[in-house]
Structure 1
Amino acid sequence: MLDRITSYQACLDAPKRWAVATIVSVRGSSPSPVGTSMAISADFEIIGSLSGGCVESSVAASAQDAISAGTIRRESFGPDGTPFGQAGLGVALTCGGEIEVLIQPLVTADLEPLRELATRDSRAPAQLTRRLTDDSGTRLLVHEQRDAAPRLILSGVHDFSVHLAQLALQAGWRVHMVEIRPAFGTGARIPAGADLNLGHPASIIRELLEGPVSSWTGVVVMTHHPDLDVPVLDCALTWADSESQLDLTGQAPQQVQRASPDDDGAGRFIGAMGSRTSAARRDAALRSLGHSAAARARVVSPLGLDLGAETPAEAAVSMFAQLIAAKNASATAAPLARSRGPINAARPRSLSIIREMAV
């Protein structure tokens, strides 16, 4: 429920009309992770989804019954339409895995904690514990946790960085855009939801990087001016070295340096858009400032995967794809059709946020 809680404010105002279905357990391959939710109204208005279309209709129909009866239900879906491998017929989960879905009419929920969570920034960390009883009389404990959203700091406002910011925002990331030129750094030029900062990039980014790192953070230079981009990279390298932290570089898996155990899972990434000539120039400047070869190797430049991008929008997709790979620290960025193993390798193959409690 935490994944879309801010979208459920109207539902919370009319609890008799709405139910929320949440994936509480997965086994094997699943279309969406544990915690994914979907709201369904008594007249079939739907917010969100649980899969690629395999189970939504069945869950929505069950939600109608749950709303009418005012009771909580659990539904299971497997690859052959059987509930977690048991005999029977039902909706098949075509990805080959198994999921368990908890359907809770909001009339049965403790609404005050939900309303409070619904007003928070959806990118901030949060926790939710639900204690409830299903229609079979089984007492259940459901605990959900939402980590802080990844953070992306972009130095420079122009078409490339705007498209990159839009992609990151759509993915639920926090985005800070930094620009020294007031004519370019205007609210009308940046996407809604991005934080605009006017001033010298190195000074502003140094302030943005102060304090503990609570989530994966990427600093990306989008400018092509030595007097702007080199100071930003100098600042970012100093930040990355501040706690002797290894960061995610987006290199091949055998070369990826993972965050240290003391880092609480928050990685630090440094990248720069531009040509190989620009990358070499920046590297030489950083070397003259005293940064070691190992430190300079942290700067991923030119940033992006080779997609043959021709437009700013396509180039942004190329860059964001590498940022995602770096954040996940386990991706090869190879075509899925030519790779082996789980598609969502970073996602646990078996996980549950629900447990039954003794009466």
Structure 2
Amino acid sequence: MLDIAAELHRWCEEGRDFAVATVVAAVGSAPRPPGAALAVDGAGEAIGSVSGGCVEGAVYELCQETLSSGRAVRERFGYSDEDAFAVGLTCGGVIDILVTPVRAGSEVRATYAAVLAAAARGEAAAGARVVAGPDELLGRALYVPAEGDASGTLGGSAALDTSAVAETRALLNAGRTATVETGAEGGPPGTGARAAAEGSIPDCGPTVTLLVESSAPPPRMLVFGAIDFASALVRTAAFLGYRVTVCDARPVFATRARFPEADEVVVQWPHRYLDSQQLDARTVVCVLTHDAKFDVPLLERALRLPLAYVGAMGSRRTHLSRLAQLRDAGLTEPELARLHSPIGLDLGARTPEETALSIAAEIVASRHGGSGLPLTGAHTPIHHPAPSGAVR
């Protein structure tokens, strides 16, 4: 749902009623991951997607029915061997969809609005929704900010809410979107109260499955070296949703006029700027200076940080020379193995724009565990599961 948070936040601000359909489970070659959403308002306007087109029509109708009835429902859509043109995923996958009405005055309205507002502002927060469990709890939600108290209720019990908040906050701290089971420990739905009455465990209410969606500020890309390749990379990174900083020690090159799409242009020695920043595990560092006096002090620090990606431009000869200098600086072989150099995938790139594409492709492959190989003739999966601990 957070993939369309900005639009849904606007709908909430405008007082619209709507139903939101969310992928809550995916098996096989499903085109959209859990969390992907399609929403339909009372006037029939639709935004988002749950399948890339395969079942959009059926889900659209289900949203309208759910908005009318006021009851959340969960439906499964899969491939039909008998009729490939029937409602189903012709790519062969299976997806489970939860459709929840979000109407003015409903119990979930305020909670959904809080989650969507935080996500639209780019704040660190999480929303947890019941996607499996007793029918009367489907779609119930909690809003869990990075700091402060949670709001909303799952409706099972106070203990269930407490347990769910703890699970949600753990996923929020890791920046993950995932499903998690919580409630009565190990028992089927509805066993919590009975077990509590028998004195075996506290009453945690029914067992439910939650979809926890974490919202976080955009990941950062630090581009060192204010050259023409950097300008193309800034544009590509902005398209991919990164917050981009360009840093160079030469004020004549590091100017806002040369990098209008960058979120920040800094004139400073690269390694000193890196030392001044608080970076997380989503941060990408691209070193385009290919000048040892800038590269080596910068990479010496960057390769010792838990960053998502560190790449450096240069020829293979430059790369070997750079490795030797980094070894002399005390870096270990595992630390050096984290360096992507020469930077980018082999696309035969010639222009700055093509080079930027090759760098961006390598970053995406690194982020999602892709091989970088052509899909034609390959036996690798098209849709990779998110790596453990990955941040979306």
TM range (shorter): 0.7 to 0.9
Q: What does residue range 59-208 of structure 1 map to in structure 2 within 5 Å?
A: 59-80=59-80, 91-107=87-103, 108=106, 110-120=108-118, 125-130=124-129, 138-140=136-138, 142-146=210-214, 148=216, 150-190=219-259, 192=261, 194-208=263-277
Aligned to 1:12: 12
Q: For the structure 1 residues 204 and 342, does the alpha-carbon distance in structure 2 shift closer, same or farther, using more than 3 Å as the test?
A: same
- With normalisation by structure 2, the TM-score equals 0.69
Measure how far apart 1:299 and its partner are. Answer: 2.3
Tell me, in whole angstroms, the C-alpha distance in 2 between the residues paired with 1:308 and 1:192.
Answer: 26
Q: For the structure 1 residues 307 and 41, does the alpha-carbon distance in structure 2 shift closer, same or farther, using more than 3 Å as the test?
A: same
* Conservation of the 8 A alpha-carbon contact between 1:127 and 1:143: no
Q: What does residue range 46-57 of structure 1 map to in structure 2 within 5 Å?
A: 46-57=46-57
Tell me, in whole angstroms, the C-alpha distance in 2 between the residues paired with 1:124 and 1:227.
Answer: 37
- Where has structure 1 moved over 4 Å in runs of 4 or more? 121-125, 131-134, 147-150
How many pairs are equivalent? 312
Q: For the structure 1 residues 74 and 121, does the alpha-carbon distance in structure 2 shift closer, same or farther, using more than 3 Å as the test?
A: closer
- Give the 3-state SS of the residue equivalent to 2:285 in structure 1: strand
Tell me, in whole angstroms, the C-alpha distance in 2 between the residues paired with 1:56 and 1:163.
Answer: 35
Q: What does residue range 30-45 of structure 1 map to in structure 2 within 5 Å?
A: 30-45=30-45
Aligned to 1:338: 377
Tell me, in whole angstroms, the C-alpha distance in 2 between the residues paired with 1:32 and 1:50.
Answer: 6
Tell me, in whole angstroms, the C-alpha distance in 2 between the residues paired with 1:119 and 1:295.
Answer: 40
Q: What does residue range 207-218 of structure 1 map to in structure 2 within 5 Å?
A: 207-208=276-277, 210=278, 214-218=280-284
Q: For the structure 1 residues 172 and 96, does the alpha-carbon distance in structure 2 shift closer, same or farther, using more than 3 Å as the test?
A: same
Aligned to 1:357: none
Tell me, in whole angstroms, the C-alpha distance in 1 between the residues paired with 2:219 and 2:286.
Answer: 13
Tell me, in whole angstroms, the C-alpha distance in 2 between the residues paired with 1:99 and 1:214.
Answer: 32
Measure how far apart 1:137 and its partner are. Answer: 5.2
* Conservation of the 8 A alpha-carbon contact between 1:2 and 1:144: no
> Unaligned regions of 5+ residues in structure 1, if any?
241-265, 349-359
Q: Is structure 2 residue 284 aligned with structure 1 residue 221?
A: no
Moved more, 31-40 or 102-111: 102-111
Aligned to 1:356: none
Measure how far apart 1:288 and its partner are. Answer: 4.1
Measure how far apart 1:268 and its partner are. Answer: 4.3
Tell me, in whole angstroms, the C-alpha distance in 2 between the residues paired with 1:215 and 1:278.
Answer: 27
* Amino acid paired to 1:32: R
* Conservation of the 8 A alpha-carbon contact between 1:156 and 1:221: yes
Tell me, in whole angstroms, the C-alpha distance in 2 between the residues paired with 1:199 and 1:291.
Answer: 24
Tell me, in whole angstroms, the C-alpha distance in 2 between the residues paired with 1:331 and 1:11.
Answer: 36
Q: For the structure 1 residues 292 and 23, does the alpha-carbon distance in structure 2 shift closer, same or farther, using more than 3 Å as the test?
A: closer
Aligned with 2:362 (options 303, 322, 329): 322
Measure how far apart 1:285 and its partner are. Answer: 3.2
Q: Which has the higher contact order (CA 8 A, sep 6+)?
A: 1
Measure how far apart 1:183 and its partner are. Answer: 4.2
Tell me, in whole angstroms, the C-alpha distance in 2 between the residues paired with 1:312 and 1:199.
Answer: 24
Identity value in percent: 34
Q: What does residue range 274-285 of structure 1 map to in structure 2 within 5 Å?
A: 274-285=314-325
After superposition, give the CA deviation of every residue in 1:220-256 in whole Å (9 maximum; x if it has no partner).
201133322222112223x33xxxxxxxxxxxxxxxx
- Give the 3-state SS of the residue equivalent to 2:128 in structure 1: strand
- Give the 3-state SS of the residue equivalent to 1:336 in structure 2: coil
- With normalisation by structure 1, the TM-score equals 0.74
> Unaligned regions of 5+ residues in structure 2, if any?
141-209, 388-392
Q: Is structure 2 residue 269 aligned with structure 1 residue 271?
A: no
- Give the 3-state SS of the residue equivalent to 1:274 in structure 2: coil
Q: For the structure 1 residues 59 and 81, does the alpha-carbon distance in structure 2 shift closer, same or farther, using more than 3 Å as the test?
A: farther
* Amino acid paired to 1:126: A
* Conservation of the 8 A alpha-carbon contact between 1:222 and 1:273: yes
* Amino acid paired to 1:327: R
* Conservation of the 8 A alpha-carbon contact between 1:153 and 1:220: yes
Tell me, in whole angstroms, the C-alpha distance in 1 between the residues paired with 2:341 and 2:131.
Answer: 51
Q: For the structure 1 residues 11 and 188, does the alpha-carbon distance in structure 2 shift closer, same or farther, using more than 3 Å as the test?
A: farther
* Conservation of the 8 A alpha-carbon contact between 2:119 and 2:215: no
Tell me, in whole angstroms, the C-alpha distance in 2 between the residues paired with 1:21 and 1:193.
Answer: 35
* Conservation of the 8 A alpha-carbon contact between 2:234 and 2:262: no
* Amino acid paired to 1:225: D
Aligned to 1:258: none
Tell me, in whole angstroms, the C-alpha distance in 1 between the residues paired with 2:231 and 2:113.
Answer: 33
Q: For the structure 1 residues 77 and 293, does the alpha-carbon distance in structure 2 shift closer, same or farther, using more than 3 Å as the test?
A: closer
Structural RMSD (CA): 3.2
Measure how far apart 1:52 and its partner are. Answer: 1.9
- Give the 3-state SS of the residue equivalent to 2:33 in structure 1: coil
* Amino acid paired to 2:214: R
